[in-house]
Amino acid sequence: MKYLYSAIAATVLVSTAYAKDAFDQSSDGYTWRSASLEFRKSFCDAAAARSQSIKPGITGQFIFDAVQEFYTTDDPNLLKKKLFDIMALAMSAYN
């Protein structure tokens, strides 16, 4: 799990065309929801690409769908959960 977190955290350094959007270690469901769809998808694609050595075959779409589903809620307790933790959980569930 620690390696997954490192791989996800490294994606923060990936530059995109969506400079107004950014995720960092403090990002949560509110941050996720406020970012553009294109940025969220490119971020998940980058996380999947960086994780191929430990999760071969994982796709950005898989990560995106898992995170999107988790944050499809109005529960403030769930929306306050850290994005990188949710991504790591989703990635650890990938077979």
Q: Is the pLDDT of residue 75 over 70?
A: yes
- Please give the model's pTM, rounded to 2 decimal places: 0.81
Q: Assess contact for 26 and 82: CB atoms under 8 A.
A: yes
The strand pairing partners of 28, in sequence order, are 82
List the structure tokens of 40.
Answer: 């969220």
Average pLDDT score over residue span 14-37: 80
Q: How far apart are CA 60 and CA 77, in angstroms?
A: 25
Task: Indicate the pLDDT class of residue 6, thresholds 50, 70 and 90.
Answer: low
